[in-house]
Structure 1
């Protein structure tokens, strides 16, 4: 195996916990992948693309949360996966809002503006959600 090739280095570092961690020369995505999947890898978000920063934040509970400059989708991912992340649904699209409501039981439920598939998703995963089939067709009601 040619360990100089970035892909092979990333695989070696993530598949073998005894493999030394060396992020030198890796691109943002590869560095984020190693940081997210190796709990012993020091976290350094410097120079990572916003989506890659979100990837690490969402998967490493020891990573500080900073939602600055993240896309709405990336913010939703971090909020949904990290119970210690403050919830702020402002600016999220309906898919992001539904994702946070589904995975965070402490998130207030607000089905306003969600399409039928996202409303069903929230109702199916949150036992505390009131059931409301208003405006839904037979298909959505059957789910």
Structure 2
């Protein structure tokens, strides 16, 4: 009896395409808030931090790719895997520039100090393996 119920539940909830859509909305939607902040407030902090590390300022404009363009594409289900790679790269640069010293630290509330970066990286890694699923604004699966 219980096995029948569990099998029924598992069969009804087994929807990889819906899971991919929910993942895309979560990753893209939450990261887009960070991107919108940079569109609205600018990236002078990033440009200055890059300069302090001896990196050319133009590299800082990549944050718009990783935090605005890539999340929008992911939400829409277009070029999800390349967009996930762009997000991973953006988060690695953010970690290196700002949070590398916090890698082994805890926040004031006891959370891992870089958990937000790890969250975005890991959701992007999952999306790399899962793909966009069939729920996309583009029909051609090669562009998903």
Structure scoring higher RCO (CA < 8 A, sep ≥ 6) equals: 2
Which is higher, the Rg of structure 1 or of structure 2?
1
TM-score scaled by structure 1?
0.22
Higher helix share: 2
TM-score (norm. length: structure 2): 0.22
